[in-house]
Amino acid sequence: MKIGIPKETMVDEYRVSLLPVGAHLLVEDGHEVWVQAEAGSGSGYSDEEYRKAGARIVESADTIHAECELLLKVKEPQMTEVEHYAQSMIVFGYFHLAVSRPLVEACLEKNISALACETLGNPHGERPLLKPMSEVAGKMSIQEGAKCLERPMQGRGVLLGGVAGVAPANVLVLGAGVVGASAARVAAGLGANVTIMDINIERLRYLDEVMPDNVTTIYCDPHAVHHYALLADLIVGALLIPGARSPRLIDRAMLKEMKRGAVLVDVSIDQGGCFETSRRTSHHDPVYVVDDIVHYCVPNMPGAVGRTSTQAYCNATLPYIRKLAGLGLEVFLEHEAGVREALNIHGGKITHAGVASAFPDLPSLF
């Protein structure tokens, strides 16, 4: 199989979808690997490293899009990329289709098979390809949130962990999955007073046992969200419904009751965001203010730490990529429980229920 690695084109995206060692192993498996020049530079991997691994370096992404059967990406395809895709190509990466009708329509028109990392499951009900980037994003949410709390960033001027004689900041984490747990652990480690909320009692029970004493678990209902949001200096949105749009738990009316200069970090922004006032930003221009509340809504947070994120992403994806390339799409989708959930678009139809629910008028299997 011809496998293509284009350079990511999303603003401020520094990750690459395959490490040189991955190229080496795929070539050993009998496949061809075509890497666009400078595709790995943002993560610190040179063209020469890929060349030594047996990959072919090509100058243009258009060549890869036209010639390769399997395209490996990190972030969702940009519209300018999809225009050049060959018909019926397999594309493997994050898609977040439920929040982009134009991208869904373009993928349907190109008849691509969209394998979305964020919806791929395993026999244990986990999302193994979403987990590594969730860990990075969760940790970064506190790192970035703490910075946004500084007065030059229009925040409250609060140090997250406080100092002797001065109370620490209050941090509210909405969602107790991988993102939320990672965020809570880092915030607690910095000395903040942390509240983490979810509707999964068993998950809360587990976190209650393993988290430090300065982390409190609270069941997530509208009254509790309102109560703790008004106390918070920093709120991290970490909600996930695989493949579907994120629920919105904080509306604009609530902002007027919150502390002036409080910070919202919306890690769910790539699935539409969990705050009513969220809109996508970038690492270059990451924040904006609504009703004196600072919003940080960067959809590719892990892209800023490209080397760490690339290594974590590729460690998780390479075993699946090797199986996909070796078995072919149809056999790959059936080889393990949960893998078929990765297929979001195929044969000119939406094949994932979460995406179909967002666009009920588009062709689907549902």
Contacts 24+ apart (CB under 8 A), 61-67: 61/6, 61/7, 61/9, 61/36, 63/34, 64/4, 64/5, 64/6, 64/34, 64/36, 65/4, 65/6, 65/89, 67/2, 67/4, 67/34
| 343 burial via Cβ count (<10 Å: 0-12, 13-18, 19+) | buried
Given 198, 233, 266, 270, the catalytic residue: 270
Contacts of 359 (CB under 8 A, 6+ apart): 101, 104, 350
Given 96, 295, 346, 352, the catalytic residue: 96
Q: If you ran DSSP here, which 8-state letter would residue 166 be given?
A: B
Instruction: List the beta bridge partners of residue 241.
Output: none
Task: Give the CA angle between residues 54, 55, 60 to the nearest 5°.
Answer: 160
Contact 213, 237 (CB under 8 A): no
* Rounded-to-integer distance, Cα 181 and Cα 188, Å: 10
Helices (H) and strands (E) in the chain, counts: 13, 15
Contacts of 218 (CB under 8 A, 6+ apart): 195, 196, 197, 204, 224, 228
Contact 219, 197 (CB under 8 A): yes
Q: For this structure, is 96 an active site residue?
A: yes
Strands 70-72, 2-5: parallel, antiparallel or unpaired by DSSP? Answer: parallel
Strands 349-350, 343-346: parallel, antiparallel or unpaired by DSSP? Answer: antiparallel
Contacts 24+ apart (CB under 8 A), 159-166: 160/187, 160/190, 160/191, 160/192, 160/234, 161/190, 161/191, 161/192, 162/191
Q: For this structure, is 198 an active site residue?
A: no
Tell me the catalytic residues.
Answer: 96, 270
